[in-house]
Amino acid sequence: MTDPQLPAGIRAATPDDVPAVLGLIRELADYERALDQVRATPDQLRAALFAPSPGVFALVAENEGEVVGFALYFLSFSTWEGVHGIHLEDLYVSPTRRGTGVGAALLASLAAIAVARGYARVEWSVLDWNTPSIEFYRRLGAVALDEWTGFRLSGDALLATAARSTG
């Protein structure tokens, strides 16, 4: 199955993009009031994105040779649909490029990849206080999954739950 032609300025990330993407991840974390939680290193990101069989992928938006936005995603699977989907982990555009169509182009590119590959959906989470992003997604036709609540196991709870498997 072939992938669609991406819009001008949008392309698959390369290993050379890792420092710029990590810089944008840090900007995103700062915007989300969680910069102190970023632990990712360039080596970790490079290994995750460019392993022989990567489990995570990235598109970048480039303007005049500068990476100004990115979409980092991985595959999900719908047991009801019986096919994969795309889970968008992060979508971020530098503040100076917001409102210029970069975010919409990144999301349109992910949608085109999903359609070309026969995937059922593109899904993501957004912080409930992030009104500008929520409004942007709604303008594109995305709908909130209000009936779903996200959960996470991490840290001590993850370790304790994992320990239960060694009965």
Helix (H) or strand (E) holding 18, with range, is: helix 18-31
Q: What does the pLDDT read at residue 83?
A: 97
The whole-model pTM stands at: 0.91
N- to C-terminal Cα separation, the chain: 44
137 is known as an active-site residue: yes
Structure tokens at 105: 């182009």
Whether 94 and 60 have beta carbons less than 8 Å apart is answered as no
Whether 122 and 89 have beta carbons less than 8 Å apart is answered as no
CATH for 10-166 (3.40.630.30, 3.60.10.10, 3.40.50.720, 3.40.50.620): 3.40.630.30
Q: What does the pLDDT read at residue 6?
A: 81
Q: What does the pLDDT read at residue 88?
A: 97
- Determine the Cα–Cα distance for residues 93 and 95; give it in Å rounded to an integer: 6
- Determine the Cα–Cα distance for residues 114 and 117; give it in Å rounded to an integer: 5
Which of helix, strand or coil describes residue 162?
helix
75-115, pLDDT tens digit by residue? 999 999 999 999 999 999 999 998 899 999 999 999 999 99
Beta strands in the chain (DSSP E): 10-12, 57-63, 66-78, 83-93, 122-124
21-37, pLDDT tens digit by residue? 999 999 999 999 999 99
Q: Which of 73, 92, 119, 137 is catalytic?
A: 137
- Tell me the pairing of strands 83-93 and 122-124: parallel
Q: Is the pLDDT of residue 7 over 80?
A: no
Q: What is the C-alpha R_g of the chain? A: 17
115-136, pLDDT tens digit by residue? 999 999 999 999 999 999 999 9
86-95, pLDDT tens digit by residue? 999 999 999 9
